[in-house]
């Protein structure tokens, strides 16, 4: 197996505001191999990197991301001074040695994300293996699988490794992304035997990190990349 990847959760969420350019840069400064982040489509059609369906929790604004245009979103501030980034702005921070886990959080994100990845592969020298697209949402996963089968797909689950493995087979996924509390010696062995990579989330405590490492999985998603 290749080395286990250290993947910053929403960048370096333990240190900086989540899903911001400073958070992603901090994760890299802490020796993360890459980052995980979330995307939605805003009213004017651009891909926005934000976790929630609304801007209320993380910005000084209110309302649904899907009801706000890019120009409206860009006027909002995180922690008083930080802009919400677009997917294109985030990707400019990274290069071909990094691993980028794009979670499809909002609806109708699949095709736009696939097109963005394809552009980076065709024009900017990235490989498909630099990316993995993940989601809890069956419709979005199916859309990626049908639209561009070359893009690695990850099945997120907070409930059942068994269900994730069923969806992984159905959608020809590359990986499963279970919450770390679901991992057992048996289900890890089964997933690896079936040829799937395993990226687990969100592992922050030292004792949990150590336990998860012993499973021999492919990557840990964490708020604290300095702990991996």
Long-range contacts of 105-109 (CB under 8 A, 24+ apart): 105/38, 105/39, 105/40, 105/50, 105/51, 105/53, 105/135, 106/39, 106/40, 106/41, 106/53, 106/65, 106/66, 107/41, 107/66, 107/137, 107/139, 107/140, 108/41, 109/39, 109/40, 109/41, 109/47, 109/140
**Residue 108 bears catalytic tag:** no
Question: Are 38 and 50 a contacting pair, CB within 8 Å?
Answer: yes
Whole-number CA gyration radius for the chain: 17
**Residue 51 bears catalytic tag:** yes
Query: Could you tell me which of 45, 46, 65 has the C-alpha nearest to residue 56?
Result: 65
Q: Out of 9, 40, 98, 177, pick the active-site residue.
A: 9
- 221 strand-pairing partners: 7
Catalytic residues: 9, 51
């Amino acid at each position: 197996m290749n080395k286990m990847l250290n993947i910053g959760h929403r960048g370096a969420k333990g240190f900086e505001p989540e899903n911001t350019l400073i958070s992603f840069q901090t994760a890299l400064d802490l020796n993360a191999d890459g980052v995980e982040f979330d995307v939605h489509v805003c009213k004017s059609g651009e891909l926005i990197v934000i976790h929630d369906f609304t801007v209320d929790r993380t910005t000084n604004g209110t309302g649904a991301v899907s009801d706000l245009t890019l120009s409206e979103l860009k006027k909002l501030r995180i922690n008083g001074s930080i802009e919400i980034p677009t997917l294109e702005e985030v990707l400019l921070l990274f290069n071909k040695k990094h691993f980028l886990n794009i979670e499809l959080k909002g609806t109708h994100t699949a095709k736009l994300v696939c097109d963005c990845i394809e552009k980076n592969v065709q024009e900017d020298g990235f490989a498909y293996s630099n990316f993995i697209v993940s989601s809890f949402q069956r419709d979005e996963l199916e859309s990626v699988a049908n639209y561009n089968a070359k893009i690695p797909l990850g099945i997120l689950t907070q409930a059942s490794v068994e269900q994730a493995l069923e969806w992984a087979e159905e959608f020809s996924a590359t990986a499963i992304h279970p919450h770390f509390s679901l991992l057992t010696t048996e289900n890890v062995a089964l997933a690896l035997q079936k040829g799937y990579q395993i990226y687990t989330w969100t592992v922050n405590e030292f004792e949990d990190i150590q336990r998860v490492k012993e499973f021999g999985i492919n990557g840990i998603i964490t708020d604290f990349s300095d702990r991996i």
